[in-house]
Amino acid sequence: MTLWRKALLVAVGALVLVAGELTGFAVTGASAATTQPCDIYAAGGTACVAAHSTTRALYGAYNGPLYQVRRSSDNATRDIGVLSAGGYANAAAQDSFCANTNCLITVIYDQSGRGNHLTQAPPGGFSGPAPGGYDNLADAKAAPITINGNKAYGVYVAPGTGYRNNHTNGVATGDQPEGMYAIFDGTHYNGGCCFDYGNAETNSRDNGNGTMEAIYFGNIKVWGYGTGPGPWVMADLENGLFSGVNAGYNSNDPTVNHRFLTAIIKGEPNHWSIRAGNAQSGGLSTYYDGPRPNVPGYNPMRKEGAIILGTGGDNSIGSAGTFYEGVMTSGYPSAATENAVQANIVAAGYATGTGGSRTGPITSGVNSAKCMDNNNAATTPGNKVQMWDCNGYAAAQNWTVNSNGTITIGGGCLDITDADYSDGTLVEWWPCNSGANQQWQASNGRLVNPASGKCLDDPQHNTANGTQLVLWTCNGGSNQQWHLP
């Protein structure tokens, strides 16, 4: 064996050992199952200080929990781990635990071993809609996907949902260098503030320019923006979303809406960068690489080191998005390291497949003996979708909740009549046509149409047989709660 090969084997073995020690969890087998993003960052000299994912391990040796769910039937909790060290989420464990009831994601565990777990965000400059001013937790069933053919779930953030850790270990502060990436659903976004993942204030309030450094994704244009209609990857540096050196427009920051999107922000003294790419194929593009914004307060930066997901630094809660995985590093990663991470992400095999679909009755939160019913199982366009006694009539009551956002039965879709998003518009059966009025996302037990932000509603809590369902402004009522298959 040549000397360079011996050196390479020693280096790889040391890297695996370090990764196993950092996780703080038991590792099965004699070595890592594979090389994963945080192994690549460590090899590049910019180790992960936070690693969050609900879909897979981010270290080749990681064999601990990815996230925790809590079910509504009895408030019991369950950690969801990986199928094997360095592998994919055990979605079957969630499906079994959450069968016939709703589940929320309560903890997103940090795989780095530093304990930088994400939990329900507390109130700050803005209060959330949950008791005590906390933010909502994400519906654990709301974002099903497949990864390398294995079923997994993302973190679906509807406005009002957020996670945070204000007491972190090892995250960059002040002007210290750092990098971060996240995998988002590039088709799920809005113009609210602010769908972020990254470094934020430790008191959940706006502490001035330069006190944040986080990835933003969406199409708000209040501060910075790029070309086209959006969405854009930008940096939330507090009191500004920046697409370049200036507040406002950057012609080099394009609209990006890949179904699975790799988004990168990194910063060091008076230098920062935006990069992004398709998480399913190809490499990364650089949209900005240059000095800090030419506005007072951003050079030097005054980062505080908290971690946020789904909200702004001051707990602004108007945003929407879906998160699958992300990390934060110590030090400014090289482009070569990030390119290797992107190759790893592409190889992971994110996809929207049938593995994310589930079929069965959808029951009412007002009366669980009542089911959403396609009247007489008819397939006539405009057929009434109604409340009816659950009767096992599969052709009328066995709905399929699909990973593409549709809810189908009998070859047709749950449809908002004429794409009229006014309160009280009737919901019906209609042939599937890829319209925005046929899109639904589960969120905290509700079925929300993303185009309108409104909920599927049992009018006036009336569960009498034949009551036709409607679209209505989301209000948290039990008549907008649905138990999915």
Catalogue the active-site residues. Answer: 238, 314
Measured CA distances, 354 to 172, 174, 359, 432 (Å): 40, 46, 11, 17
- The 10 Å Cβ neighbour count of residue 368 is 15
* Cα–Cα distance for residue pair 425/99, rounded to 1 Å: 31
- The 10 Å Cβ neighbour count of residue 406 is 19
Buried b (16+ CB within 10 A) or exposed e, 331-341: bbbeeebbbbb
Buried b (16+ CB within 10 A) or exposed e, 91-120: beebbebbeeebbbbbbbbbbbbbebbbbb
**139 neighbors 351 (Cβ within 8 angstroms):** no
Q: What's the one-letter identity of residue 52?
A: H
Reduced to 3 DSSP states, what percent helix, strand and coil does the chain have, rounded to the nearest 5? 15, 35, 50
**Residue 305: partners with Cβ closer than 8 Å, 6 or more residues away:** 168, 171, 172, 173, 199, 202
* Cα–Cα distance for residue pair 46/52, rounded to 1 Å: 16
**154 neighbors 403 (Cβ within 8 angstroms):** no
* Cα–Cα distance for residue pair 215/230, rounded to 1 Å: 15
**Three-state DSSP class for residue 173:** coil
Helices (H), 61-153: 91-97
CA proximity to 307, closest of 116, 108, 105: 116
* CB half-sphere exposure, 352, CA atoms < 13 A: 13
* Cα–Cα distance for residue pair 165/204, rounded to 1 Å: 10
Measured CA distances, 205 to 53, 211, 313 (Å): 26, 10, 6
**421 neighbors 454 (Cβ within 8 angstroms):** yes
